[in-house]
Structure 1
Amino acid sequence: MLRRMIVSLRYTLRRHAPSAPQRQVGAIPYAVVDGQVAVLLVTSRRTGRWIFPKGGLMTGLTPAEAAAREAFEEAGVEGEVAPLPLGAYGSFKRRGLRPLPIEVELYPLRVTQQHEDWPEKRQRRRHWASLNEARKLLSEPRLAELALMLRGQP
């Protein structure tokens, strides 16, 4: 009896053990206005929190290119994406009732074009914010830390 309970408990623990984080990429769309950096935030679809555009890696695209594609799909912007990420942050993505860990690398994207129509326009809002305002609006402190690294961008 005790042996059966132990086997059952091991099975349950293995089944619910945290998996390795899924890798995602995102962009920090930015522009320099009168010498000050402004960043473009979007709302998440599920909760409406302010975030940066992000998503999974895409076959045939480098991580930086995939981040740029997410910025177009979620925020309607295009521009020059840096080949290296500013950094990364960890979070969770909901799959049904179960939270899955994700690790998101964020690439700076200097915006050169903003479209009035884009694929997820009806699902999200976008908002240009100063770095100080972004720090207050962003739902995750690590996102604000990464955005602040854009200070001094040309």
Structure 2
Amino acid sequence: MSVLHQSGVIPYRINRGKLEILLITSSSGKRWIVPKGWIALWMTSVRSAAKEAWEEAGVTGTVTHSAIGSYKTRKWGCPCQVEMHLMLVEQELETYPEAGRRKRQWLSLSKAIKRVQDVELKRLLKHMQTIQLDQISQAQSV
């Protein structure tokens, strides 16, 4: 059985010197997650992650070329590899493809960790606690 591939972003901003994470609701509205989706054959992981951020959360910005982490999961009974990148949000749009289907909320990193239920996403957010803000900023792609 072949492995399916997804990519996503952990959208963040610095607000008054504090790191904030943007969470969105899942398509069912029951869980708080970050934007992620299938990688199209003609797209890189980074471009696909940026596309998902715009479609699901209405944000654009700078996405790291190197992933902050990855994890394995199962989707529709198939093995799936998910690669997650950081996105420094530069623009938050009011109109975007899934605006009527999802809620979004900016939270401190510690509150975001408490809000998400997904174990792997929680692990990646906890990893962000160990990274200094200047290191996060330097990790951004050009």
Structures share a fold, TM > 0.5? yes
Q: Which residue of 1 aligns with 2:86?
A: 108
Matched, 1:52 2:52: no
The SS at the match of 1:139 is coil
Which one of 38, 41, 48 corresponds to residue 23 of structure 2? 41
Distance 1:145 1:100 in 2: 22
User: TM-score, normalised on structure 1?
Assistant: 0.78
Which one of 56, 66, 71 corresponds to residue 48 of structure 2? 66
Runs of 4+ in 1 over 4 A off after TM superposition: none
The SS at the match of 1:118 is coil
Code of the aligned partner of 1:78? T
Which one of 1, 26, 30 corresponds to residue 8 of structure 2? 26
Greater gyration radius: 1
How far did 1:66 drift? 0.6
Do the aligned partners of 1:135 and 1:141 also contact (CA within 8 Å) in 2?
Answer: no
How far did 1:20 drift? 4.5
- Residue correspondences, number: 132
Which one of 109, 112, 120 corresponds to residue 142 of structure 1? 120
Matched, 1:152 2:132: yes
Code of the aligned partner of 2:92? Q
Q: How big is the alpha-carbon RMSD for the aligned residues of Structure 1 and Structure 2?
A: 1.6
Matched, 1:78 2:56: no
Structure 2's unaligned 5+ residue stretches are: 138-142
How far did 1:62 drift? 1.4
Which one of 85, 91, 100 corresponds to residue 122 of structure 1? 100
Do the aligned partners of 2:29 and 2:102 also contact (CA within 8 Å) in 1?
Answer: no
Matched, 1:87 2:96: no
User: TM-score, normalised on structure 2?
Assistant: 0.84
Structure 1's unaligned 5+ residue stretches are: 1-18
The SS at the match of 2:10 is strand
Identity %: 36
Distance 2:73 2:103 in 1: 21
Code of the aligned partner of 1:113? Q
Distance 2:20 2:75 in 1: 27
